[in-house]
Amino acid sequence: MLKSETQFSFLDYYLQKRHFPFVKLTLDLPETAFSSLRQSPAQFATELTLAACVKWYELGRISQAKSAEIAGLSRAAFIDALREYRVPAIQIDLSGLEQELAL
């Protein structure tokens, strides 16, 4: 989980720097979820979006650039988030590394 001060900096950036249209999703969650995490619904939504982007990137489903875009962060801020979530910023398997070294 991200540190509190990091969460708020991502939230501020996310809410202020959105430059593309968003689709609104609705989730049914108990109100106690927010108090348990000591977060507002907006903070929870921001962290949930970022966590999903980090996981999708970790699984190789989307690129680092697309992950940052979906999360509403700069690429540098997304790389910082990867560090906070302990996910390597460079995702390459052995065959990919061998191909890179062969060039």
Q: Is 13 exposed, middle or buried (0-12, 13-18, 19+ CB in 10 A)?
A: middle
Q: Is the pLDDT of residue 100 over 60?
A: yes
Q: Is residue 83 domain-resident?
A: yes
The domain total for the chain is 1
Q: Is residue 45 domain-resident?
A: yes
From first CA to last CA, the distance across the chain in angstroms is 38
Q: Is residue 98 domain-resident?
A: yes
Q: For residues 14 and 97, what is the distance between their CA atoms, to the nearest angstrom? A: 34
pTM value is 0.69
Q: Is residue 41 domain-resident?
A: yes
Q: Tens of pLDDT along 78-96?
A: 999 999 999 999 887 778 7
54 neighbors 82 (Cβ within 8 angstroms): yes
What is the pLDDT averaged over residues 14-34? 69
Q: Is residue 54 domain-resident?
A: yes
Q: Tens of pLDDT along 40-67?
A: 888 888 889 999 999 999 999 999 999 9
Q: Is residue 58 domain-resident?
A: yes
Q: Is residue 25 domain-resident?
A: no
Domain of residue 42, residue span:
4-20+30-102
Mean pLDDT of the chain: 80
